[in-house]
Amino acid sequence: MFKQGEKVDIVTASQQFKGVFIKEEKDFLIIKLSNGYNIGIAKRNIKEQKSLGMTKEEGKEEKELKDKEAKEKPNSKLPTIAILHTGGTIASKVDYSTGAVIAQFTEEEIIKLFPELKQTANITSRLIRNMQSEMIRLAHYNIMAKAVEEEAKKGVDGVILTHGTDTLHYTAAALSFALESIGIPVILVGSQRSSDRGSTDASQNLLAAAEFIANSEFSGVAICMHEKTADENCLILPACKTRKMHTSRRDAFRPINALPIARVNVEKKKIDFIASDKHEKDKKEKEKKKLTLKLFNEKLKIGLVKPHIHMFASEILAYKDFDGLIIELLGIGHVPSMKVDEFTEENEHIIKAIAELAKKMPVAVAPQTIYGRINMNVYTPGKQLLEAGVIGNYTDMTPETAFIKLAWLLSNYEKEGKEKIKELFEKNLRGEISERSEKESFLN
């Protein structure tokens, strides 16, 4: 039988397959095709099979020479961008000798993957973590924030942070709060497909982020991802008003209750600001202020609960030993809270449970609808929540941003008391609360 990494030619009654042998299952052979996808071929259908030899690793001397060539002297006419990697698909490619996805993190490797970057900026690149984004905890936000601070002190013109897409929007909000008065752009970039796939979005997203940093006056934290499934444009999205809205599409990230900051066309080297140009006007003001890190308390326990029909008070009380709780309210601001017939007595226990927790910790709210603004003054269930002591009325934060903001406030202002937490939670600090609801932003 074939060895792993061996090139093979397999013929069935209807097709011929050439690729790299991965492994043998009971009834199948698994090979990796040249397009990067794995395929299982039923043994019973194989008519012919032969080896084409082992894949060869690039010679050490040849590799060192190529690495040396890739590392050129900085161009004094170009800005310097630091790329910090936390993992994810964007800086990875398939190793066809093993079938595994391998990471590429050094500046030499990044330039080889994305040679167009050399025309836009001088690139430095380093790995700060290598992990799937769903594995992230509050401690990792502190690591990222300190790494950005380190690059800012070196005098770079901007930072690109590569990140897995699953929780990229959480991290964007976290860094927006943690990096107070950041005077340079910090752009989070992800991709849905690895860098050597024909359908990859990695190249376009990364190049657009670099183009935006190099040729705009923006400062602060933002996200750069595809505008549509096609490669024409990328959007610069607000850090605290963006959410991943699709599991796999390249345009999965959409602004919520807000407009995109800008549109970037890499091919035309064109940047169009959409929401406003206030980011450019504010840059000089930010540069006057010193970057301050306001980090997260890594030991905090923040809950996130989604009310639903046939709910029980015990679902709320499960968080009684936590430090804070976000409730994703139904509609304009409701939970099951009223007894209306013989089947709904449990609802009264739910509102009592919320009141019990609100005496011990901040219990804050966000709209389960994602779009829109909370207004608990309209209907009785909302008024009951206000009487129970929940905070966050009139806000339009996404549940994820509300979760991050509450964690950040408890990390930095807990000693100042519950009233200070309430005041700051309901105050717009980083663009997380819209002054008004833009009708154009719905399903934008």
Q: Active-site residue numbers?
A: 89, 165-166, 244
Q: Nearest-CA neighbor of 111 among 69, 147, 148? A: 69
Q: Where are the alpha helices (DSSP H) in 235-344?
A: 278-288, 313-317
How many angstroms separate the CA atoms of 271 and 306, rounded?
A: 39
Q: Where are the alpha helices (DSSP H) in 6-137?
A: 60-70, 107-113
b or e along 36-70 (b: 16 or more beta carbons within 10 Å of the residue's beta carbon)? Answer: beebebeeeeeeebeeeeeeeeeeeeeeeeeeeeb
Which residues face 154 on adjacent strands?
Answer: none
How many angstroms separate the CA atoms of 374 and 147, rounded?
A: 36
Q: How deeply is 85 buried, as exposed, middle or buried, from its count of CB atoms within 10 A (0-12, 13-18, 19+)?
A: buried
How many angstroms separate the CA atoms of 444 and 440, rounded?
A: 7
How many angstroms separate the CA atoms of 290 and 183, rounded?
A: 8
Phi and psi at residue 20, in whole multiples of 5°?
Answer: -110, 125
Q: Are 388 and 355 in contact (CB under 8 A)?
A: yes
